[in-house]
Amino acid sequence: MTTRGATGGARPAPYPAEGLPERVTVYEVGPRDGLQNEPVVVPVEVKAEFVARLAAAGHTVIETTSFVHPRWVPQLADAAELLAAVERVPGVRYPVLVPNARGLERALELGVTEIAVFASATETFAAKNLNRTLDSQFEMFEPVVARALEHGLKVRAYVSMCFGDPWEGPTPIDQVVEVGRRLLDLGCFELSLGDTVGVGTPGHVAALIGAFGGPERLAVHFHDTYGQALANTLAALRAGVTVVDASTGGIGGCPYAESATGNLATEDLVWMLHGLGVETGLDLGALVETSTWLAGRLGRPSPSRVVQALSKALSKAPSEAPSEAPSEAPSEAPPKE
């Protein structure tokens, strides 16, 4: 059953379930993780409007860009220009991804107050993504985290390949826990457990969170390669996690893992959470409108099932449609994946 919201978009009738948090923070990664694989460079003004729309929809944390070398991720070469163009909204955090000490210096120069660093849970991906071993990757992170903390910055940590990678198969849980605890011990306030290639299952999620001793300081970052992202999210919520990473429209993936398809779509996540009676502070109609607008700029329809469904529903009720028509997204354009 669905109901009609003030924004014009349908929303699920809430049926609260036991054992879930009252509120979840959706950590929006669309401007960074979502756009980083786009083959055509998105103009700075479009990225800035994207961030502004996300804030207007109620997001309180928006990972805005990355200071990775432009040679590796050309789409994010405009990080400094974008940060200058983004109008900060009180109460909204705008973290950026920082790969190394040089990236941190650029972030400090631009007045960034929150950063994220990323590590690998497997040897092969550490070599491919960081050109380091599983152990030596910390030689890169330790001075970055220490200097960031000295300057009063909050530091989040990502761990990739927490459930498995294409080269080594399933990742041992104790190996993930060892990497994660080392990052937390450095002073990172939050640890995001990434299912980079989407091979995790709900039981695996529960076991991994349990191996950490509980959900404190943990977040989750799921990809929907095998259609498990929402099921895995629900398992994480039942284990007590209250921060979930998601990307507008489900765009994005890791450029160094070919089998890493789209992120969990923000709209699909919010639909589920609202249906479970879990508060997010997000306006689903505004999120759908933003995803439709972005799809028009990227030249292809949104991969999100909720966006597709609500866009069709709204197109049949013109008087209730968002100000940016869903038809902006070309109906015949093939999905990115």
Alpha-carbon gap, residue 118 to 63, rounded angstroms: 13
pLDDT (0 to 100) of residue 253? 61
pLDDT in tens, 248-288: 999 986 544 443 458 999 999 999 999 999 999 999 999 99
pLDDT of residue 293: 97
* Known catalytic residue at 162: no
Active-site option among 159, 199, 220, 254: 254
Q: Which domains does the chain have, with CATH numbers?
A: 2-328 (3.20.20.70)
pLDDT at 315: 59
Strand pairing report for 2-4 and 10-12: antiparallel
What does the pLDDT read at residue 62? 99
Structure tokens at 316: 């049949």
CB 157 within 8 A of CB 118: yes
Distance from C-alpha of 31 to C-alpha of 320, rounded to nearest angstrom: 28
Per-residue pLDDT for the chain (337 aa), expressed as one digit of tens each?
554 443 445 689 999 999 999 999 999 999 999 999 898 999 999 999 999 999 999 999 999 999 998 888 999 999 999 999 999 999 999 999 999 999 999 999 999 999 999 999 999 999 998 899 999 999 999 999 999 999 999 999 999 999 999 999 999 999 999 999 999 999 999 999 999 999 999 999 999 999 999 999 999 999 999 999 999 999 999 999 999 999 999 998 654 444 345 899 999 999 999 999 999 999 999 999 999 999 999 999 999 999 999 987 665 544 444 444 333 333 333 333 3
Q: Answer for the pair 122, 163: CB distance below 8 angstroms, yes or no.
A: no
Distance CA 269, CA 275 (A): 10
pTM: 0.89
Give the whole-angstrom CA distance, residue 242 versus residue 128. 31
